[in-house]
Structure 1
Amino acid sequence: MTKAKIHPREKERLVLLDSYSILDTLPEKDYDNLTQLAAEICQTPISLITLLDDKRQWFKSHYGLETSETPIEDAFCAHAITSDEPIFTTEDAREDSRFQNNPLVTGDPNIVFYAGIPLKNANGLPLGTLCVIDNKPRNLTQSQKESLNILSEQVINLLELRKNKLELERAHKKLKKFSKKLERKVFQRTNQLEIKTIKLELMINDLESFNHICSHDLQEPLRKIQMFISQISDTEFNNLSEAGKHKLERIDLSAGRMRNLIQDLMAYGATESIDNSLTTVSLKNLVLDVKDILSEELKEHKTLLRVQKDCPITVRPVQFKQLLFNLFTNAIKFSKNEIKPTIKVHGSVVNGTDYPELNLNEDRQYSRILISDNGIGFDQKYENKVFEIFQRLHSDEEYQGTGIGLAIVKRIVTTHSGQIRVESSLGNGAVFDIFIPLAD
């Protein structure tokens, strides 16, 4: 018996084989159909799709043979992948010096006839073979050889399709992760932009830099995401599984939401009018949007966030989602140790006359939003201080922060001609009580 030569590009070949992630995978009907067809065309009892790593030949499909792999030193296919012949054939292995005393010849499956076509990628590197085997001498007709070659090309097509699908799935996961990360950054950047806006209003009321950040820093990565989505949709959409198509569509929807958010931010920074962007929306829908953005943080801290009752509100959605974002992240940050944070949102429609202590317009209805948590709370005497810019009740060693989050919440409520108050006590969480005028 003669040991097969090592392929001259063996290291490169093994790296290529690994990139298909196919070794030791479960049987698949598409491959089994090809081996069955090969056996029927060539009139042989056995047909195999083999893949060779550095120690074995593994059968992706084995028609007429029970075993799923053999040592590479016994493999006929190891000779086939290094041969210069388009189809490697031995008519009677018992009389072939290369295979005399080979355990696959002297023992089960008693190979006598073998014909194998190397499965090569576009660069000519062989991954394995499509082969047919018989336990008696025989020859293949020219028609059988041509048919076997066509079937080997179909095996390569299946392998390439599998590889492309895996690469697309990995790309989809990266895009989805990047999209979610970018969406969170949009809200974080929005917070930073609100801080910048407050400072600019205190100084020169100049919002040009606000517009520049929105138009450039946020839109540029969004354009790249949408370009990748468009490329995948144009070239690979039909090759995706239904789950893959759904994921791609979800990424596209997320990118659309980000685009709308950026446009809303630019409109807000470009005008001082407080009337042109007000719209009546569902409080629950805004909460769910923010909940989706904070999904990782909520999961990490095992936070329960639920809307107990919905109500309509007349707001600028981008600003009000920032308000919710700040209150929810505050509730998570100032939660008690070893106690799962719980955030409850309750909406209702009330009359201005019902709350004379707040000096509300008696001729209007208001959306009343209660946002409560079970966190560490604070002394009620600090009610006004918590809404002041740069004011903090805790040191950096206890809780990190800038002392601006609730100042932004207060400012957003004020720009909506609303009122906000808070009730709290040490160790008993906090309840933020917000009143926003409801459009007629």
Structure 2
Amino acid sequence: MIKAKIHDREKERLALLNSYSILDTLPEKDYDNLTKLAAEICQTPISLITLLDDKRQWFKSHYGLGVSETPIEDAFCAHAITGNDPIFTTEDARKDERFYNNPLVTGDPNIVFYAGIPLKNASGLPLGTLCVIDNKPRKLTESQKESLNILSEQVINLLELRKNKLELERAHKKLKKFSKKLERKVFQRTNQLEIKTIKLELMINDLESFNHICSHDLQEPLRKIQMFISQVSDTEFNNLSDGGKHKLERIDRSAARMRDLIQDLLTYGATETIDNSLTTVSLKKLVLDVKDVLCEELKQYKTVLKIPKDCEITVRPIQFKQLLFNLFTNAIKFTKKEDKPVIKVMGKIVDGADYPEMDLAEDKRYSHIMVSDNGIGFDQKYESKVFEIFQRLHSDEEYQGTGIGLAIVKRIVTTHNGQVRVESSLGNGASFEIFIPLAVKAI
């Protein structure tokens, strides 16, 4: 007896066989029908669908045979899957040096005739065979060979259907597991969103209460303080010592700063509550409106205001004019005394996809507003800090301010679902870029 060779791609072949998850499965009628039909067509008492792993040949269907597997070293099918012939045949195994003393020939089931067609998948790797066996010598006709080949293709079809079904079931389980996981996440996110909504409502209520305190409880005593300071300045100022005069001036400046701080806080809080109607207007028109309000300051500091390029913007006009007002007054405030402030405002319509660094919606269009100045500028590392409330980069002795102006700018942009950034360097002014979603016009 000569043992069959190991297949050239045995490791790959075994991995493929395992992927079908068919070894040691229960009998199935579809496979049994094919072996029965093969035996009847070829007129043999035995027909098998065999699958070969590294130790045995296992029978998915065994027509006319009582066992379900035999050792691989005795298997005729092991020879069949390593050969190049489309059908492996031995007409009389008793006279074949490869099988004459094989236990399956000398003992039960007393194989004499064997014909097997390798069961190959699309890549050409054999999983096993569809074979017919007789205990007497015989030959298959061409018609029988052709029929056996057709039946072997049907075995492969059944195996592929099984594999596809298993993959679908696994995919369904993964999808079901993912769906449950997603459902849990959605539930968690929904709860988190509800909590955030409640917190936001509480914050808005707190903000409204704070605005009420600012507008009434804080301003009233402050007005009295300023009134008394004014009275003392008018009637007693000349009677004070130099130290007293200096202290009174400092009290007056502190009261004025407190008044500005309260007004800025009121403006900051009002950005969420006033002027809720969005309107599409010309950027230039809003700039000119703010210019009229600041006409005295612009004249006083000989400010040059340029609007080289206009565009439409969809905003809450009152809020956006406040934004421009804050940027203009900042530009004037932070210009060196020996320089004339130069403010340039430009606008254009852009696609969100063109600015990936700004995290804009790629399918939306935006009004891109640029406000630049020739002021003292600041180190770029402080970009995020300048937009925070009460954050200042200079002392009162250098430049007056409350540290709220740019926080109001950021808040107004946020309420418009927009983005803002600033580029600056020391001594080279600042350039603010604002992106506001453009209203979609009806066709």
Under a length normalisation based on structure 2, what TM-score does the superposition of the two structures give? 0.46
Under a length normalisation based on structure 1, what TM-score does the superposition of the two structures give? 0.46
Structure number with larger C-alpha Rg: 2
